[in-house]
Homo-oligomer: A and B are copies of this chain.
Amino acid sequence: MSSYIEPIELLAEQFRRLPGVGKKSAVRMAFSVLEMSVDDAKAFSDAIMNAKTSVHLCPVCGNMTDGDICSVCSDESRDRTVICVVENSRDVIALERVREYNGLYHVLGGVISPLAGIAPSDLNVETLLTRVAGGEVKEVIIATNPNVEGETTAMYISKLLSPLGVKTSRLAYGIPVGGDLEYADEVTLNRAIEGRREI
């Protein structure tokens, strides 16, 4: 005999599938749903299906959107000569939060990773080449993460782009603002020295 009640157990199992949620948190979350009003629980339940069914990838850049094309691609005020290549839509959100970058994006939907079984052909690269070949683009900023997979992907894309005669750049890597030299790892410090700038 289980002390759990089956519908609660099933709901907790669903919560456990979310990132960063352990067994105890999942049970707490399941109970918090029971404490909601029926309307609130319905709104929660509907939000899941609504997000899942209405969100799809922008045919231009591969970013997530609930419209025909995404809000960045459809924004006439953005600089159409620069494209920033990122791994996923969360990276777009992170960059948009800075309010510094005003160009377009291109979302790869992953990085080359033989271990995870992701080959170059699985990435949204074809459309990037078509966009760049269009001639309007002057610079492509490759903003994949600074790890093995991200670097490999950056190298791969820059090689594909080089015959098109477009300027290709990579984000600067170094010590994060507010960081401490003492605690920075060797690779980051090495990158910081390599990328030093005159003042």
Contacts and interface: CB of A to CB of B under 8 A. Distances in A.
Interface residues of A, number: 59
A14 B72 contact: no
A55 B5 contact: yes
A49 B55 contact: no
A96 to B, nearest CB: 3
Contacts of A40: 17
B89 A44 contact: no
Given A14-B43, A14-B44, A52 B33 contact: yes
Interface string A41-72: 11111111111111100000000111000111
**Most chain B beta-carbon contacts within 10 A, residue among A8, A38, A54:** A8
A51 B71 contact: no
A11 interface: yes
- Copies per complex? 2
A117 interface: no
**Dominant SS among interface residues on chain A:** helix
Contact of A27 (B3, B32, B52, B90): B90
A29 interface: yes
A86 B88 CA distance: 47
A113 B38 CA distance: 25
Interface string A1-45: 111111110110111011111000101111111101010111111
Interface of A: 1-8, 10-11, 13-15, 17-21, 25, 27-34, 36, 38, 40-55, 64-66, 70-72, 75, 88-90, 92-93, 96-97
Nearest 5 pairs of A and B residues by beta carbon: A3-B96, A41-B52, A7-B51, A11-B51, A45-B48
